[in-house]
């Protein structure tokens, strides 16, 4: 519900704050005192269009802020919207709107800037405003089906849940069929593609690690001449030496060093370990030389082998481009293709089975939707009767209300019905959609009647009525007052009124008035205590002045309101 409202530099309002309670909250005051300005400020919070003229003269901007409690039934829907917008919330939202004299307008929720349209999207879950500038869920045809079904109770709810479950099952089966391909021809085409891919991979006869082995062998063959020259040079230096004897082999020089050190060790036995090292080095050089000799004798360069290796590498690279970045990935792809082919080969039989199950589900959905239609039609008749009786009490004795249930072309999870509320205020006139009603007084009373009989089902927590008593008087006003009091048991209700009968039912009463300060007119607001409330009601009863007669009349009105509310509480 709307807990607090702050308005700054908006039209005649310099700075006003309101704290609203649950139950019935009333705003009263002389004509022109600023009641409609307050309603206009709330409209801004609900995403209505702003105008530069709304900024108080001499100011750069106007500001409206509302603190809203979100403890409502449609919590999941609201949470989903806020989550998509990246807005965190606990149990409260701060909705704000700022209008600049330049024409720019900024909206915020919990301090985060949002599009103006988002305020309207969020607002429909929080506040219904009924007045000249309507923000009314009941005037949105897409809401009529939900309201009708919620009034239908547990039976309708059970049927809808069953229908939704059938629809979900049907969607699951349709997804499975879709995974098979759109048609038998499509599935055959997919099989042909998979078969080609699998054959191409199997024909390659790949082996994990083969690409690395090929790369190593290709490197050797591509550098065969260089390898031969390098190993030949190393062998010559180590074992043969130059033919001219200018550069003896390393092994010869090492053997000579070993001979010299052997003689020295015969003199100084401390040189024995060094001799051992030289002998070990000579043995290792002998081994390296023999290995090099064997390498050279077994070395063959085959251009055909190099060409074959390079062709194999090209094949593997081609498969990698198509099926994976490594041989492991290519083989995994082939495994998946084999499984998919097995699935597709059996797909015709699977598709026939799924299509049969879908047809059975559709028949069940049709049967359930027809049962749901019967319940909706019964519920519609009950609402029509209750509403027309209620409208008689609200000075619309000839009003006709009809809930039109028609069949849609498409069967959905909500059934096959399309619902729209129709209305006629006068005898002899045909009913028309509520959206075609242009009389503000009729709209307000129809809305009040609907809200009254649908009070427990309507999920919008705060209802605002702007001069719902316009154009009516006498017993009708009292009936409107009682309807508002009844409605306030299930909703927070804010009502702008000139009627003392309605104001007498209030749980919280604000009086708005104009005041001149420094030759500027300002709108002020005051939360009335019991004594002030008596005086305000007396003014509303008799604008010529407050005397004992008018106060006694006020006391009778208050007493009647008290008795009615006690009866409602009982």
Q: How confident is the model over 90-118, as pLDDT tens digits?
A: 788 999 999 999 989 999 999 889 999 99
| Percent of the chain topping pLDDT 90 | 38
Q: Which two structure tokens, joined as six digits, stand for 71?
A: 């403890």
Q: 55-76, pLDDT tens digit by residue?
A: 998 899 999 999 998 765 566 7
pLDDT for 490 equals: 86
Most confident of the ranges 274-283, 336-345, 522-531: 522-531
For residue 557 the two structure tokens come to: 């009105």
Query: Is CATH 3.40.50.300 the classification given to domain 1-126+460-570?
Result: yes
CA separation for the pair 211, 325 (Å, rounded): 12
- Domains of the chain by residue range: 1-126+460-570
Q: What is the pLDDT of residue 369?
A: 95
Cβ distance 299 to 221 under 8 Å?
no
Residue 168 has pLDDT above 90, yes or no: yes
User: Distance (Å, rounded) from C-alpha 416 to C-alpha 413?
Assistant: 8
Cα 327 to the center of its chain, rounded Å = 42
Distance CA 332, CA 198 (A): 11
The closest alpha carbon to 128, from 452, 460, 402, belongs to 460
Cα–Cα distance, 483 to 450 (Å, whole number) = 10
Query: What is the distance between the alpha carbons of residues 221 and 46, in angstroms, rounded to a whole number?
Result: 79
Nearest to 208 by CA among 97, 319, 330, 104: 330
Mean pLDDT lowest among 151-155, 167-171, 470-474, 534-538: 470-474
Contact criterion met (CB below 8 Å) for 65 and 6: yes
Asked if 8 and 62 count as a contact pair (C-beta separation under 8 A), the reply is yes
Q: Which two tokens stand for residue 152?
A: 């239908």
Bridge partners of 492?
462
- Number of neighbouring beta carbons within 10 Å of residue 135: 22
Nearest CA to 164 out of 369, 363, 409, 371 is that of 369
**pLDDT of residue 479 exceeding 60:** yes
The answer, yes or no, to whether residue 195 has pLDDT greater than 80, is yes
pTM for this prediction: 0.60
Q: Looking at 104-144, which runs of residues are DSSP E strands?
A: 105-109, 112-114, 127-130
Average pLDDT over residues 415-444: 81
Task: For 12-28, write each residue's pLDDT tens digit.
Answer: 999 999 999 999 999 99
Residue 433 has pLDDT above 60, yes or no: yes
Could you read off the pLDDT of 111-167 as tens digits, one per residue? 889 999 999 888 888 888 876 445 466 677 888 898 888 888 889 989 999 999 999
Q: What is the mean pLDDT of the chain?
A: 86
Local structure of 444: helix, strand or coil: helix
Residues 301-350 pLDDT 10s = 778 878 888 888 898 899 999 999 899 999 999 999 998 888 778 877 88
pLDDT of residue 530: 92
User: d(Cα 391, Cα 402) in Å, to the nearest integer?
Assistant: 13
Q: DSSP secondary-structure letter at 135?
A: B
Mean pLDDT of 196-213: 91
Residue 307 has a CB neighbour count (10 Å cut-off) of 11
Q: What is the mean pLDDT of residues 519-523?
A: 86
Mean pLDDT of 515-532: 90
Q: Alpha-carbon distance 339 to 335, whole Å? A: 7
In 197-353, at which residue ranges do the beta strands (DSSP E only) sit? none
Comparing 5-19, 83-97, 427-441, 531-545, which segment has the lowest mean pLDDT?
A: 427-441
- C-alpha span between 197 and 202 (Å, rounded): 9
State the chain's maximal CA–CA distance in angstroms: 147
> Which whole number is the average pLDDT over 382-392?
89
Greater confidence (96 vs 461) lies with 96
């Amino acid at each position: 519900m709307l807990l607090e409202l702050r308005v700054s530099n908006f039209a005649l309002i310099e700075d006003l704050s309101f704290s609203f309670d649950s139950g019935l909250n009333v705003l009263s005051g002389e004509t022109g005192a600023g009641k409609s300005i307050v309603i206009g400020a709330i409209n801004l919070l609900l995403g209505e269009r702003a105008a530069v003229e709304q900024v108080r003269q001499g100011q750069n901007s106007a500001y409206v802020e509302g603190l809203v409690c979100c403890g409502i039934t449609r919590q999941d829907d609201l949470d989903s919207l806020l989550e998509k917008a990246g807005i965190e919330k606990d149990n409260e939202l701060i909705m704000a709107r700022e209008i600049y004299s330049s024409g720019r307008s900024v909206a915020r929720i919990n301090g985060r800037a949002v599009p103006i349209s988002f305020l309207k999207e969020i607002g429909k879950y929080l506040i219904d405003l009924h007045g000249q500038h309507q923000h009314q869920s009941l005037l949105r045809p897409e809401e009529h089906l939900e309201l009708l079904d919620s009034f239908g109770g547990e039976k309708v709810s059970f049927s809808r849940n069953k229908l939704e479950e059938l629809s979900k099952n049907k969607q699951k089966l349709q997804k499975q069929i879709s995974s098979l391909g759109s048609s038998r021809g499509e599935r055959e085409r997919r099989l042909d593609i998979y078969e080609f891919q699998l054959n191409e991979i199997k024909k390659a006869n790949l082996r994990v690690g083969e690409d690395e082995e090929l790369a190593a062998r290709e490197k050797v063959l591509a550098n065969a001449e260089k390898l031969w020259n390098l190993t030949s040079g190393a062998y010559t230096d180590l074992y043969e030496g130059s033919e001219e004897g200018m550069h003896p082999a390393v092994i010869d020089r090492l053997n000579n060093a070993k001979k010299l050190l052997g003689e020295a060790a015969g003199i100084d036995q401390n040189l024995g370990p060094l001799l051992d090292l030289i002998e070990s080095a000579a043995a290792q050089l002998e081994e390296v030389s023999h290995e090099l000799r064997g390498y050279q004798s077994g070395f063959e360069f085959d251009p055909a082998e190099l060409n074959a290796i390079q062709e194999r590498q090209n094949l593997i690279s081609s498969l990698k481009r198509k099926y994976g970045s490594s041989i492991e990935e290519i083989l995994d792809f082939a495994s998946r293709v084999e499984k998919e082919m097995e699935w597709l080969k059996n797909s015709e039989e699977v598709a026939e089975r799924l299509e049969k199950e879908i047809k059975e589900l559709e028949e069940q959905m049709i049967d359930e939707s027809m049962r749901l239609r019967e319940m909706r039609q019964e519920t519609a008749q009950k609402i029509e009767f209750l509403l027309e009786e209620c409208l008689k009490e609200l000075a619309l004795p000839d009003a006709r209300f009809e809930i039109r249930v028609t069949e849609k072309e498409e069967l959905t999870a909500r059934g096959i019905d399309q619902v729209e509320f129709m209305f006629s205020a006068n005898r002899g006139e045909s009913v028309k959609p509520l959206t075609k009603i242009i009389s503000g007084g009729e709209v307000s009373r129809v809305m009040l009647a609907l809200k009254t009989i649908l009070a427990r089902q309507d999920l919008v927590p705060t209802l605002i009525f702007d001069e719902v008593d316009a154009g009516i008087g006498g017993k009708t006003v009292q009936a409107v007052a009682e309807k508002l009091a009844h409605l306030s048991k299930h909703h927070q209700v804010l009502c702008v009124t000139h009627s003392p009968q309605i104001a007498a039912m209030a749980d919280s009463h604000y009086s708005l008035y104009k005041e001149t300060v420094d030759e500027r007119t300002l709108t002020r607001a005051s939360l009335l205590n019991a004594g002030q409330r008596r005086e305000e009601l007396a003014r509303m009863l008799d604008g010529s002045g407050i005397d004992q007669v008018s106060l006694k009349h006020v006391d009778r009105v208050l007493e009647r309101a008290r008795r009615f509310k006690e009866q409602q509480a009982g």
